[in-house]
Structure 1
Amino acid sequence: MNQNRIILLVTLLVAGLASCKKDKDDTQAPKITPGVLVLCEGLANKNNSMLSYYSFSTQTASTDLFANTNAGTGLGDTGNDMVIYGGKMYIVMNVSSVVTVVDAHTGLKIKNIDFLKSDGAPRQPRYVIPYKSKILVSDWDGKVAVIDTTGLTIEQDINLGKTNLEQMAIIGDKLYVVNSGALNTVNDSTVSEINLNTMTETRKITVGYNPGYMTADEAGNLYITCGPDYNTGTLGARLVKVSTASNSVLKVADTSVGRIKYYNGALYAASSYEGVKTVRKLSTTDFSQQSPNFVTDGTVIVNPYNVNVNPDNDDVYITDAKDYKTSGEVFCFDKNGKIKFSFSTTPAVNPSTVVFVK
């Protein structure tokens, strides 16, 4: 009798362990393998930002990766920028006024870092860039927040005395931040230089009216999109090249450019809501067009919203916002402008920031 009871207890114990093991396997978050992550902005005040993921190994895309791996919880409102650094994703949510920190291997949320003023008003973070063990975030409140990547807290703010800070670039130990003043009656026209050793502003460089997007080359030059003047309509759009070594403007071209990316001696300019709706490849010397349309195989892109280049193989990724209201699409081209693959971001709207998972 005692022997039968022992056998029964052992049987139940083994069954219980097997059940626990099965439950653990079923709930384990999927791995994010090498591929492409795309932050889709969504629509302002609609709370519908999403994270799309394309796997190189399976050649398949999945949308709303964040919600799918976080029990249905969404990212929030207006995903503005994203970077992978030290095994974590830092996702900037502009209207929600948070930076969401995510495990880059599983997609699971680690923490939301709130961006609020002392009175509780939103700071509205915009762009993010890593530096050593820090994450730097530009804000519309005129400050650059310095996040410690270990404690995941804002350890200090760098006050630039300006408003509506936008894109950033790092050259050596200097951080360059666009001061757009885009929401002011009179827009700004400067870029701030910050010494990253002291985390203090060292100077402002006048670059052109209403600067917005920026990229940098390895020679210490900045390329900045400026204008137009939406308030008066008297100033048109310009592309400006600035030498950070001489603190001088080297070249100006009267051309409309939206997002811009420097890569391997050329500029890739996506112009969805500014100028011609193509991605142009421009010379860094005189801004002449190496190609008026980078796409050479006839692939139609309705509204090229953003562009990035994979440094591992020179593939160029272009996001298509379509009509800014319906689901977007992401295209991958080889360096000669021929399509390799594309994927829809359905139901996500306005795909923008593209990052590469190693």
Structure 2
Amino acid sequence: MKHNRIILFVSLLVIGITSCKKDKDDSSAPKVTTGVYVLSEGLWQQNNSMLSYYNNTTGVSSTDFFAKTNGGTGLGDTGNDMLIYGTKLYIVMNESGVVTVADAHTGVKITNISFKTAGNVNRQPRYVTSYKGKVLVSNWDGKVSVIDTTSLAIEKDINIGPNLEQMAILGDKLYVAVSGALNAVSDSTVSIVDLTTMTETKKITVGYNPGYMTSDEAGNLYISCGPDYAGLYKSRLVKVSTATNSVVKVADTAVGRIKYYNNALYAAASYYGVATVRKLSTTDFSQVSANFVTDGTKVMNPYNVNVDPANGDVYVTDAKDYKTSGEVFCFDKNGNKKFNFSTSPAINPSTIVFIK
């Protein structure tokens, strides 16, 4: 979640909110075939992140799937991102300071890769992507870590800048959002890393506190920026041409997590006060629809969005009130609900990855 949503969760904890008790559930883990994994962040410092698995064929969901396949041992604190690469599932645990590696087809843990210093200081891993046998992890300590997928060890750290967030790969270039979110004045750049040499080559100024990004087939990068915690800067959406590494379009609009698909952007920003998934034009950022959902289905707090490239189905996670069990909705390309499932007892469902 953007900058851990630390302020939100601390506020909730202060007023006495506690996590939900686990509902009754089947203790056995199903066989993983075609479907989706859903990573629920849980509440900060509550050690209650969970992984759910939904089987598209049977229509059955299994919550707390990771614990079921690992003898009751849970993931840990604040699951921030995940990725399937090859036969492995990489789960970024921000507050626990590890990347958990599991078998993508069984959920059985292979290892935890530590993201703590020799002095046991958490580097706060954030987001993950992959490139030619490597897995890349952005960290709030200002570095991108390069993991070898055979040894499952960090083989290199690339110095970038303060409080790194989401990344995107286009060709042999890695683009990294440099948020500087903990600074008095946030950073405003996207760093470019040459993946053939694993070194930073350039920075592009895009807007204060850049966090999330997505890219299209034409080599354009879309970045959501701001707002900052000091309240000095508003949210904005920025389009960058990676052919020229220059900003080509800017709009002042509240966007959080964004996903490109088929010449449109899907934007979820419930924590910025926008309680709909908006569909935006990639050309001028105008609203194709103020609410992508067309059949009247109520999504209380659209927290994240992803699109299945196989069929164009749009998945939306609903964080509800950020303290009780969440829900996942699947809509067809026209915004009509196909199905939904609860992540109970998991809280704040966010990242969705597709299993084929």
Same fold (TM over 0.5): yes
Q: Which residue of 2 aligns with 1:320?
A: 318
Normalised by the length of structure 2, the TM-score is: 0.91
Identity of paired residues, percent? 74
Does the Cα contact within 8 Å between 1:223 and 1:240 map onto a contact in 2?
yes
Q: Structure 1 residue 230: deviation in Å?
A: 2.1
d(CA) in 2 for partners of 1:39 and 1:261?
17
Normalised by the length of structure 1, the TM-score is: 0.90
d(CA) in 2 for partners of 1:28 and 1:76?
20
Q: Which residue of 1 aligns with 2:194?
A: 195
Within 5 A, what are the aligned runs for 1:80-229?
80-160=80-160, 162-229=161-228
Q: Structure 1 residue 246: deviation in Å?
A: 1.4
d(CA) in 1 for partners of 2:144 and 2:89?
19
d(CA) in 1 for partners of 2:149 and 2:204?
30
1:238 pairs with one of 230, 236, 239: 236
RMSD across aligned C-alpha pairs, in angstroms?
1.2
- Give per-residue Cα distances to partners, 1:3-46, cap 9 Å, x unaligned: xxxxxxxxxxxxxxxxxxxxxxxx99752111111000000100
Does the Cα contact within 8 Å between 2:29 and 2:65 map onto a contact in 1?
no
- Give per-residue Cα distances to partners, 1:51-96, cap 9 Å, x unaligned: 0111012111110000001000000000000000111100000000
1:304 pairs with one of 302, 305, 310: 302
Asked whether 1:57 is paired with 2:31, we answer no
1:336 pairs with one of 324, 334, 337: 334
d(CA) in 1 for partners of 2:138 and 2:64?
25
Structure 1 pair 329/337, CA: closer, same or farther in 2 (3 Å)?
Answer: same
**Uncovered stretches (5+) of structure 2, i.e. residues with no partner:** 1-26
Does the Cα contact within 8 Å between 1:29 and 1:108 map onto a contact in 2?
no
Structure 1 pair 309/163, CA: closer, same or farther in 2 (3 Å)?
Answer: same
Does the Cα contact within 8 Å between 1:260 and 1:270 map onto a contact in 2?
yes
Superposed structure 1 runs of 4+ greater than 4 Å apart: 27-30
Does the Cα contact within 8 Å between 2:35 and 2:56 map onto a contact in 1?
yes
- Give per-residue Cα distances to partners, 1:234-253, cap 9 Å, x unaligned: 32111111112112211111
Does the Cα contact within 8 Å between 1:255 and 1:275 map onto a contact in 2?
no
Asked whether 1:267 is paired with 2:262, we answer no
Does the Cα contact within 8 Å between 1:257 and 1:275 map onto a contact in 2?
no
Q: Which residue of 1 aligns with 2:8?
A: none
Q: Which residue of 2 aligns with 1:23?
A: none
**Uncovered stretches (5+) of structure 1, i.e. residues with no partner:** 1-26
Structure 1 pair 28/46, CA: closer, same or farther in 2 (3 Å)?
Answer: closer
Structure 1 pair 322/132, CA: closer, same or farther in 2 (3 Å)?
Answer: same
Q: How many residues align?
A: 330
Does the Cα contact within 8 Å between 1:91 and 1:100 map onto a contact in 2?
yes
Does the Cα contact within 8 Å between 2:99 and 2:113 map onto a contact in 1?
yes
d(CA) in 1 for partners of 2:93 and 2:221?
26
Q: Structure 1 residue 116: deviation in Å?
A: 1.2
Q: Which residue of 2 aligns with 1:279?
A: 277
